[in-house]
Structure 1
Amino acid sequence: MKKRTWFVGITASAALLMAACEAESGEEGSSGETDSINIAGIFEQSGPVAAYGTSELNGVQLAVEEINEAGGVNGLEFDLTDYDTQSEETEAAQLATRAASEGAHVLVGPATSGAAMAAAPSATAASVPLVSPSATADQVTVGEDGEVTPFVFRTSFKDSFQGVALANFAANELGAETAVILGDNSSDYGVGLAEAFTGEFSGEIVATENFTAGDTDFSAVLTSLTNQDFDVLFIPGYYEEAGLIIRQAREMGIDQPILGPDGFGNAQLVELAGAENVTDVYYSAHYTSEGDNPDVADFISAFEEKYGSEPDMFAALAYDTVYLIADAVEDLDEVTPEGIRDALREVEDFEGVTGTFSFDDFHNPVKSAIVVELDNGEEVNFTEVQPE
């Protein structure tokens, strides 16, 4: 990982001259001069998907703290202001506009696809780059015309990739010839994943059922599935419903392997399902704590020291996002939103705790996915899936 020592690269006389100029002007100059790099963390800190947003804000705060303690970037420290979307898409859009008006050079977040897509027009209108750590819906970085949205980026892979990866994993690793899909039809996330899986799976989809975000009783649909002959159950959705589905499915005797997307990647999934029910469960992930990467070990150690718990993949994605922005800013003569946007476009071989990647023409990182196996709620194995 490119965790450089962001040391002040200015001579003492230059620093004094800069300070004098700032004192004379009293504010940021029209040329874009600034004494800090202003990051707005726009996350779901409360509401139904707060576990994602809170985790990502923690990752952002840790990275900002590390970079500032090491001297900042070219003598400039990160100044982080966080905003709570309350898991509301309308709020995300309004906060993106507000953060830009309050001087943000770059927006980090939101965590979920719907919120990121709601915030994207606001960021674009303000000409301020938005980088979502985990918005995976394919359309996040493109407009209705199919063209790339110039100010929107992400550091996670997209749904079509993870849907394909899971379909191939089901067929090739689990030997599945038949599958059932029980998906969230109330979100672009769930719908997109279901479509990607269906389009790639080499076997037969014997049933497709749906639920809506906020549902808690899945007994009727699960009872209907007990009469189906299938090899794997795919649940494209978030942990809130997936955890309850897993619990209810296992309690009803549905013991086939269960597949899920990155929305499974939170400790609350196991809490909702009960650890004893989370066996033969697999999900696509952006990161694993396993392996021998020393940067991952350092990140985990620092996160545990600061927060008292092990980081999940959402914290890791957000942590990488800040270091990505630091790398982009390092090469700028002047820190402006447009300059950061242009620098992000040129990213190549960025090394983070979630992998090494470059951006494609649509501002998506070209990176591998990891399919994690859970046994009694614990990670016991993982398989890396490379992009085509």
Structure 2
Amino acid sequence: MKFKTIVTAGAVAAMLVGCSNGNSATTDIKAPKFGFIGPLSGEASQYGSAVKNAMKMAINDYNKKHGTKITGVYYDDKADPTTAVNDYNKLYNDDKVTAVLSPVTTGSALSVASAASKNNTPVLSPSASGDKFTMNGKTAYKNVFRICTNDSYAGTYLAKQSKAKYDFKNVAVLYNKESDYSTGVAAAYKAEAKKQGVNVSFYEAYNANTKDFSTFISKIKQANPDAVFLPDYYESVVSITKQLRDSGVKAPIFGADGWDGVLGVKGVNTADFENCFFTSGYNKDATGGPTYEFVKAYEKEYGTTPSMFAGMAYDTVTVMMKAINKAKSTDPEKVNAALEKVKVSDDEAVCGGFTYDKNHNPVKELNIVTIKNGQYVTAK
């Protein structure tokens, strides 16, 4: 997306990091060190790279604005939970980080949450959406939070929109049984769809290494749905959507935030996604405010329009520093207590203001992003 307005670096920093309790509160605190764990190589690297880029940009902006000396330490977990825990142990034992602003993917985040709870390390993930990520059984971990909405929230929202906005009466659901993210969103959608009077005529799961979806597609065609719900990450979504279209399925296909990135997959036929849609945590079409300023600055810095994951990563620095300033300390217990009570306004965050519920999930508005003419367009 191109904008004609020119924004200075100073203006961007002022707009995006004006959330502290004042310069004195910030500079009185010893320079925090934040850890990153995410896929910088492998199939999910598009997510990890976006999060790392935005996190580095947010740290630089905050330091320029407040005179702080925040630093970041970055590890590539390749979206592997075992590697992620090893990375967390390095961040905690060797790097002595103040907080972990990640992991990026749900599988890694679930493992790190358990490990970090033993040390009370503040964990604030931009994008780990699995319901269980913040939960230690039936209660929330004291130290684990997120910026994105959780799977149940997204699945429920999409089921409501299926009825109210799109008037779907019959939907097929195909999901990845080996993905906590995919199974969580699918289950929430199915439960809410029933309440909304939307018939789920097909509900089946595939293995993560499945390449040929013809058997599933034959069943979907027999169900003759108004739409197909496909809650998975962008690489799988592109493959399945292509096979659906090649087989003659013309019904709308939709998903949740894991779709963000489908148009960036090498060799993707954008026509396959015409009028398909997914949920997003921010409005990249914004014409003003923090989101607009962030998009412009990111495009200037990295030469590409940022995904939702980049926006949420920028917000992790804003929100964590807001909590540290409120706590007036980097002591983990005090920071975690401050995070629970944090209130973020719309003019402070790229991905919108929010408060936390009792399970440390943000309560915020979602956007619907439609794909038209090979471009992401935020639905009005």
The two structures have a TM-score, normalised by structure 1, of 0.87
Q: 1:333 to 1:163 in 2, by over 3 A?
A: closer
**Contact (CA 8 Å) 2:143, 2:336: kept in 1 or not?**
yes
Measure, in 2, the Cα distance between the counterparts of 1:113 and 1:301: 29
Other-structure match for 2:377: 380
Amino acid at match of 2:364: K
**Contact (CA 8 Å) 2:282, 2:291: kept in 1 or not?**
no
Q: Deviations over 1:297-350 (max 9, x none)?
A: 110111111111110000000001111112112233332222221221120134
SS at match of 2:117: helix
**Contact (CA 8 Å) 2:237, 2:262: kept in 1 or not?**
no
Aligned partner (choices 95, 106, 109) of residue 99 of structure 2: 106
Measure, in 1, the Cα distance between the counterparts of 2:66 and 2:200: 55
Amino acid at match of 2:365: S
Aligned ranges for residues 206-217 of structure 1 at < 5 Å? 206-217=201-212
Measure, in 2, the Cα distance between the counterparts of 1:225 and 1:315: 34
Measure, in 1, the Cα distance between the counterparts of 2:152 and 2:267: 27
Measure, in 2, the Cα distance between the counterparts of 1:230 and 1:303: 40
Aligned partner (choices 220, 224, 228) of residue 223 of structure 2: 228
Would you say 1:195 and 2:190 are equivalent positions? no
Measure, in 1, the Cα distance between the counterparts of 2:157 and 2:50: 25
Would you say 1:3 and 2:12 are equivalent positions? no
SS at match of 1:180: strand
Other-structure match for 1:362: 359
Other-structure match for 2:9: none
Range that drifts further, 310-319 or 163-172: 163-172
Measure, in 2, the Cα distance between the counterparts of 1:272 and 1:264: 16
Range that drifts further, 107-116 or 209-218: 209-218
User: How much identity, in percent, do the aligned residues show?
Assistant: 28
**Contact (CA 8 Å) 1:244, 1:272: kept in 2 or not?**
no
Aligned ranges for residues 271-290 of structure 1 at < 5 Å? 271=266, 273-290=268-285
Would you say 1:316 and 2:311 are equivalent positions? yes
Other-structure match for 2:7: none
Measure, in 1, the Cα distance between the counterparts of 2:264 and 2:174: 16
Other-structure match for 2:251: 256
Amino acid at match of 1:216: K
Amino acid at match of 2:110: M
Q: How many residues align?
A: 358
Q: CA deviation at 1:2?
A: 6.1
Q: CA deviation at 1:48?
A: 2.3
Q: 1:272 to 1:228 in 2, by over 3 A?
A: farther
SS at match of 1:41: strand
Other-structure match for 2:71: 79
Q: CA deviation at 1:228?
A: 2.4
Aligned ranges for residues 29-68 of structure 1 at < 5 Å? 35-68=30-63
Larger Rg: 1
SS at match of 1:174: coil
Q: Deviations over 1:271-312 (max 9, x none)?
A: 454111111211011012113332211101111111111100
Other-structure match for 2:118: 125
Q: Deviations over 1:121-154 (max 9, x none)?
A: 111112211111111111111112x011111000
SS at match of 2:362: coil
Q: 1:49 to 1:116 in 2, by over 3 A?
A: same
**Contact (CA 8 Å) 1:240, 1:272: kept in 2 or not?**
no
Q: Deviations over 1:253-288 (max 9, x none)?
A: 111011101100114566454111111211011012
Measure, in 2, the Cα distance between the counterparts of 1:193 and 1:223: 23
**Contact (CA 8 Å) 1:5, 1:70: kept in 2 or not?**
no
SS at match of 2:205: strand
Range that drifts further, 288-297 or 106-115: 288-297
Amino acid at match of 2:17: K
Measure, in 1, the Cα distance between the counterparts of 2:121 and 2:65: 26
**Contact (CA 8 Å) 2:122, 2:335: kept in 1 or not?**
yes
Q: 1:269 to 1:183 in 2, by over 3 A?
A: farther
Other-structure match for 1:245: 240
Measure, in 2, the Cα distance between the counterparts of 1:88 and 1:5: 34
Measure, in 2, the Cα distance between the counterparts of 1:5 and 1:292: 21
Aligned partner (choices 128, 143, 147) of residue 135 of structure 1: 128
**Contact (CA 8 Å) 1:245, 1:273: kept in 2 or not?**
no
Other-structure match for 1:147: 139
Measure, in 2, the Cα distance between the counterparts of 1:9 and 1:349: 20
Measure, in 1, the Cα distance between the counterparts of 2:267 and 2:141: 37
Q: 1:169 to 1:85 in 2, by over 3 A?
A: same
Q: Deviations over 1:100-135 (max 9, x none)?
A: 112101001111111111101111112211111111
Measure, in 2, the Cα distance between the counterparts of 1:58 and 1:223: 42
Aligned partner (choices 142, 158, 169) of residue 150 of structure 2: 158
SS at match of 2:61: helix
**Contact (CA 8 Å) 2:228, 2:254: kept in 1 or not?**
yes
**Contact (CA 8 Å) 1:181, 1:205: kept in 2 or not?**
yes
Measure, in 2, the Cα distance between the counterparts of 1:273 and 1:281: 14
Q: CA deviation at 1:381?
A: 4.0
Measure, in 2, the Cα distance between the counterparts of 1:376 and 1:347: 40
SS at match of 2:223: coil
Q: 1:90 to 1:268 in 2, by over 3 A?
A: farther
Q: Which runs of 5+ in 2 are unaligned?
A: 1-14
Q: Deviations over 1:201-224 (max 9, x none)?
A: 122111112222233322332133
Q: 1:65 to 1:253 in 2, by over 3 A?
A: same
Measure, in 1, the Cα distance between the counterparts of 2:270 and 2:188: 29
Measure, in 2, the Cα distance between the counterparts of 1:133 and 1:353: 12
Other-structure match for 2:340: 345
Other-structure match for 2:175: 183
